[in-house]
Structure 1
Amino acid sequence: MTRHIRHAALFCALLLLALLVNAARVQVLHAEDYETNPANRRAAIARYQQPRGDILVGGRPVTGSRDTGEHLRYERTYLDGPLYAPVTGFASQEYGTTLLEATEDAVLSGAAPVLAPLPLWNEFTRSRSAGGDVLTTIDPRAQQAAYEGLRGRKGAVAAVEPSTGRILALVSMPSYDPEPLSGNGAAAREAWARLNADPDRPMLNRAVQRTYPPGSTFKVVTTAAALDAGVVKGLDEPTRSPDPYLLPGTTTRLVNGAGKCGNATLRDAFVRSCNTVFAQLGVVTGLERMRRAAESFGFNDADLRIPFRVAPSTFDTTLDAAQLALSSIGQYNTRATPLQMATVAAAVASGGQVREPYLVERTMRAGGGTVSAAGSGAVRRAMLPATASRLRELMRGVVEDGTGGKAAIPGAVVGGKTGTAQHGLGNSGTPYAWFISWAQREDELEPKVAVAVVVEDAAGNRREISGGGTAAPVARAVMEAVLRSG
């Protein structure tokens, strides 16, 4: 009898050993295979078993969570979804995450280890911390002003605080409501198909994900390069520029949309936006100095994150003289995002310094404790302080005496630059209307805001600089909103 018991005990021990070996095989050797298996819904169920943290604008949540009572329990909701979609992006159970919902997902979903009460606590308890919150730098009044200004048009607005790099507004039109994408049912799939089929691409964030030829707004960069290089000595000296200008090495004559550009002074050329003057200035300044100037403003930077990726603005570094002339007036291969051109205006406003733009002020635990806070961003010199001072004077002239008059604000000092960018086969497309600017109160020492506006479907005479009529009023509304809220 004792022998049979021993045999039974040995058999049970072997079974237990086999069970342990198999458990080890499953949990160690094949754990990753099981975890990534599409049939395994445990991770998704755990992810959506609790409310997601919120994205805040001006201290107020613009996101939320709705309890569906299903296996994937909580769906994302959005307050003023189309207004803030270029900031938040979407969080979908079916299609993943974009923009801040993607880059801050670990905090928002509660998966970030830093949210745990103790190190490795979540690993031991197999739990997930409550989702944290993300406070943005967006000024709600500026965002609303930009959105209302662009309503009914296609384009984008970016506004930054020159002294810090804080992004105050980020608007892209047409926009969309992210909320219908939040779930995983037929409604989400229908919304996804409809948005992707829309030829106006409402889910494209034009403020940071699309680049445009900047047209005459790039003349700010060309002016900075020429002044720093000493190619032009003073604002009121003749530039010895012909009208029309024969592009070097070609038989092509570059002409102007405005008159009185032949041998114009830099001040007059800037106010009238004389193509011939700035094309020649770019050629005389030279490719290497133009490249250095453009890159010091942020062009050709493929690594910019705010924290989501910004499409690189480009200034071609392999140009002949004729191509350099066209690039110096914001044409040929020169391309820029609205955020990049807002940064150009901000550099002028801040005495020649460029501060990298950022969108997240701080991240917080559900109880309100700070997880991380934005520190001093990278600062680089785009131009000499004296050059920045001269450019502020020139940009003020555009608003006070030139094509940017619709950006003027009573009680404020405003500088701007209009631009029209040709595009399409044979320049047949409706020109993009640009306006970049900065503003400060008359009783304050430094500008509070720098703005870039691009309108893709601007109306008006193609021979006119339509940025002053189409884009400048939008910029004015945004600047007024910031000056009022500050």
Structure 2
Amino acid sequence: MIRCIRRAAAFCLLLLVALLVNAARIQLFEASSLDDNPANRRNTIARYDQARGDILVGDEPVTGSEDTGEQLAHERTYRHGPLYAPVTGYASQTYGTSLLENAEDDVLNGTASVLAPLPLWGDITRSRQPGGNVVTTVKASVQRAAYEGLAGRRGAAVALDPATGAILALVSSPSYDPQRLSGTGPSVTGAWAELNAAASRPMLNRAIRQTYPPGSAFKIVTAAAALDAGVVTDPDAATDTPSPYVLPGTTTTLPDEARGCEEASLAEAIRVSCNTVMAHLGVQVGLDGMLEAAGRFGFNDDGLRIPSGVSRSNFDSDMSDDQLAQSSIGQFDTTATPLQMAMVASAVANGGELRRPHLVDRITDHDGRTVRREGSDEYREAMEPSTARQLQRMMVDVVENGTGTRAAIDGVRVGGKTGTAQHGVDNTGTPYAWFISWAQDPGSGDPAVAVAVVVEDAAAKRADVSGGGNAAPIARAVMEAALGGAE
């Protein structure tokens, strides 16, 4: 009898050990997969059990959290939702997160390691800290100037601080209110369906996720390539370019809309926007040289993040000379995000040095203590300093005497470049109106702001669309706001 009891006890002990081993196995090796199982709602309930941290513009939160009393307790709220939607994105209990709400989600939901009181605290305790805050680089007055300038028209505007790469404004138009997507239920699913079905695509972040043919605004890149490569040594000297220009290897002629482009100098070609001169210079630089020059400005970079991902701006690596000629004036397959074109203007303004664009200034804990600060990093050396100085002079001439006069600001040194980009089958689509520009601080002479604006106004008459007419006044308003000093 005693022997049977002993055997039973040993068997029970064996079962207990097996149970403990299995529990340890689950805790150590399967916990993550169980946590991530869609059927497990405990993480979701815990996620919304506490208020989400805020996204700030200056010292003001542009987000908030509301306790709904439901099982998923805290629902995201947005102040001036459409104004800042291209910055914040959405945080939805139904559809997840996007843009900054996604890129800094661990900070905002309290799971980031920088918020923990001790190293590995979160891994050991599996606990959340109160949500941290994300302080952006956006300047409220600049953001509003860009938003109101676009006035609901399809397009985008980006403003950068050339000296640091800080993004001062990031606007996509038309926009939407992300609060419509915050919760659950029929109203949220209905809003999601409506926004995704809208022909104007309000949820598309045109500033960083849409690429356009940059048109003549790209001529600044071609001019930099020609000067750096020594193809042009004197920007004021005549070139040997006919007008119209026969594309190499074809019988197709490239015309000029501007007058006086035959054998025009580089400076004159930038001032009045000669297609022929810039296309010819691109061919003279050659594919390898143009590809390298475009890359120095950020084209063909698949990994650019601000911290949200940015769509790749494209300059083809395999082209015939006639295609290269078209690409050198921002046509053919050349495409760019508005952020990319703001980077082009920024590099010129900053003496050839391109700083990495970034949208986050610092991360703070729930009590406002800074736990991480984003640095100002060099991204690329886009051109020689001497080339940048020459391009500055040429871009100032565009604003003072050329196609960009509507961007001029009294008492301020402003440089710019217009662009009217053809697109569609046989270029039948309404052109996109571009303007890229920069302005110097009148007090210090330092570069204060670089701007890119694109307007894709499908309602406008084709003949009325131009970078100088449609986009330059918006850029001027943005630069004035940046120079004004007010938040």
TM-score, length basis structure 1: 0.95
Q: How does 1:129-208 map to 2 (within 5 A)?
A: 129-208=129-208
Instruction: Report matched runs for 1:83-94 at 5 Å.
Output: 83-94=83-94
Q: Distance in 2 between matches of 1:208 and 1:91?
A: 19
* Unpaired runs of at least 5, structure 2: none
Aligned mates of 1:417, 1:29 — CA distance in 2? 58
**Per-residue CA distance 1:384-430 (angstroms, 9 max, x = gap):** 11111111111111111111111111121111000000001111110
Identity of aligned residues (%): 62
Where do 1:35-54 residues align within 5 Å? 35-54=35-54
Moved more, 18-27 or 440-449: 18-27
Superposed displacement of residue 33, structure 1: 4.7
Give how far 1:442 is off: 3.0
Q: Is structure 2 residue 424 aligned with structure 1 residue 430? A: no
C-alpha displacement of 1:23: 3.5
Offset of 1:87 from its aligned partner? 0.6
Over aligned residue pairs, what C-alpha RMSD do you find? 2.0
Structure 1: segments with no counterpart, 5+ residues: none
When residues 247 and 18 of structure 1 are mapped into structure 2, their CA distance, relative to the original with a 3 A threshold, is closer
- Match of residue 288 from structure 1: 288
Q: Is the 8 A contact 1:257 1:464 kept in 2?
A: no
**Equivalent position amino acid for 1:244 in 2:** P
Alignment check: 8 A CA contact 2:165 2:357 kept: yes
Aligned counterparts of 1:122 and 1:296: Cα–Cα separation in 2: 41
Give the partner amino acid of 2:268: D
Equivalent residue runs for 1:290-309 within 5 Å: 290-309=290-309
The answer to which of 194-203 and 1-10 deviates more is: 1-10
Deviations 1:328-369 (A, max 9, x none): 100001110000000100111011111111111111111222
Residue 318 in structure 1 maps to residue 318 in structure 2? yes
Judged with a 3 Å threshold, the aligned counterparts in structure 2 of structure 1 residues 310 and 2 are, in CA distance, closer, same or farther, namely same
Tell me the amino acid that sits aligned with residue 303 of structure 2.
D
For 1:284 and 1:226, the matched residues in 2 are separated by: 8
Residue identity opposite 2:88 in structure 1: T
> Superposed, which structure 2 residues align to 1:234-245 within 5 Å?
234-245=234-245
Task: Letter of the 2:20 partner, please give it.
Answer: L
Name the residue aligned to 1:360: 360
1:351 & 1:17 partners in 2: Cα distance? Answer: 70
Contact residue 430 and residue 461 of structure 2 kept, 8 A: no
Q: Distance in 1 between matches of 2:35 and 2:162?
A: 47
Say whether the 8 Å CA contact 1:90–1:178 is kept in structure 2.
yes
* Alignment-derived partner of residue 471 in structure 2: 471
Contact 2:152/2:175 (8 A) holds in 1: no
> After superposition, where does 1:14-413 map in structure 2 within 5 Å?
16-17=16-17, 19-21=19-21, 23-24=23-24, 26-28=26-28, 30-413=30-413
Relative to structure 1, the CA distance from residue 178 to residue 465 in structure 2 (aligned partners, 3 Å threshold; closer, same or farther) is closer
Corresponding residue pairs, total: 486
Does the 8 Å contact 2:362/2:373 carry over to 1? yes
Deviation by residue 1:78-114 (Cα, 9 ceiling, x = unmatched): 1111110111111111111111111101111001122
Q: Secondary structure at the match of 1:420?
A: strand
Q: State the SS of the aligned residue for 2:361.
A: strand
Cα 1:3–1:55, aligned 2, differ >3 Å: closer, same or farther?
Answer: same
Do the aligned partners of 1:362 and 1:370 also contact (CA within 8 Å) in 2?
A: yes
Deviation of 1:4 after TM superposition, in Å, equals 10
Conserved? CA contact 1:257–1:463, under 8 Å = no
Give the C-alpha shift of residue 289 in structure 1: 1.2
Q: Report the CA distance shift for 1:254/1:53 in structure 2 as closer, same or farther (over 3 A).
A: same
Secondary structure class of the residue paired with 2:339: helix
